[in-house]
Structure 1
């Protein structure tokens, strides 16, 4: 029997999860199949790699010795996929991902066209939801990976910044601030705001940057909180208030002149969008190819 990467990946996952059943769930395998592969690996080396108990499995001395080599093999496989993905233009497959609201509604649609032109044989399926639900579906193996507006801190999830974005002050075309080039903070605060709901990535970035600038966000004149960027844009266009939104989300309205995009003096509302996926998962080559596309292309030509 020859040593193979698949067995090393299973061994590492069992060690990381501390359980054959949890490893089986993470790997989309049955527990007997995981146990069989680990036993095959133990047969190959002629030694036990785990001490089994009713509550948890623990590494033997041999298992502890093997663990860093297994990790290096996983990292090398990931690096190999990334390096080779740029050559896989005839790759066929399905890219299944989730995206949070701003990313899915306003950013990715402009990038999927160029991606599909370069990789015409990869079909794309995208689910749009809020960050919390996208994370839940990644954890439950319902989504391969997600692109979200907030950095995710979870022990089982790898998080990587792959896109940047900037929020701007948005005002209707006939607003007193519409003809001003740059808006002083104290001037902006005089007007009523229409904002995304509490907990949204857009709202969080806005509040954090205002707080850094010494603004008490509780003093904002918030007249309306809405659950989608589209609803906020419509409310601003109707003259109900001003807002802070991703400039990518208002390109169409700004081109038509119905909304004006302004900078606020002394403040930049910048943020990143993040790719999230299970640390124990080896992404399919279609997903690796798409993430490589996001990392290496000049995306500003489409955004």
Structure 2
């Protein structure tokens, strides 16, 4: 029987993304030796190696690829369970659960959520980052009260309201060979060292899938823990990256290049359940007030 805990999966996933135990240890707040011991113990208990270790770092072998897919599902289910149980643990509080994709969570929500909370000091808001398709599924399943998603389709249980538009842009340092361009194709970034966001970023997973559709694999030179860290690394010449335009417009030393692909333009929408009869009158009033605050720029 396989035996591992959630911390094991987080260490494994961080190493898979970073390609380095030293970098991965920073993301999961362990020392490199502790992270290495956990990974070695995990491989021992599973009964097989999960990585190919080389002078340029670590990459998943065939068994590791299989384990990585399962680890992602388990971590996603764990996050979902924590979110659902928190509703009961804090049932007496005024609480909203908001699922948002990376663009919304980092660009549009902070100011509007902050304004709402300043006038509602007794309310708690949980903002959980997910991929846009997962947001629709989880709000429809009543795991959250509100979703902010770039999903373009419809759902029979949900209503959608236009929220905001944003664009994913390529980032290069001043003086870079691409810096003089007015726009670029995503694939033009592939030859250069890439700075990723991680270790758990729905947006980064989205970009990995877009690269795979073009027959390429993005293997970041370094994975930063926030968009601010990504911007600083690009400024210093560590590589190139892709971020929402809203988080980079006020930074010096960065050249912002619109991507030419249609998927780079993101039409964000608010989604919520059509049937809200299972909510209390107070909860529905709270949701209505929050949606109004979101729609007020």
TM-score for both structures, normalised by structure 2 = 0.49
TM-score for both structures, normalised by structure 1 = 0.48
Q: Which has the larger radius of gyration?
A: 1
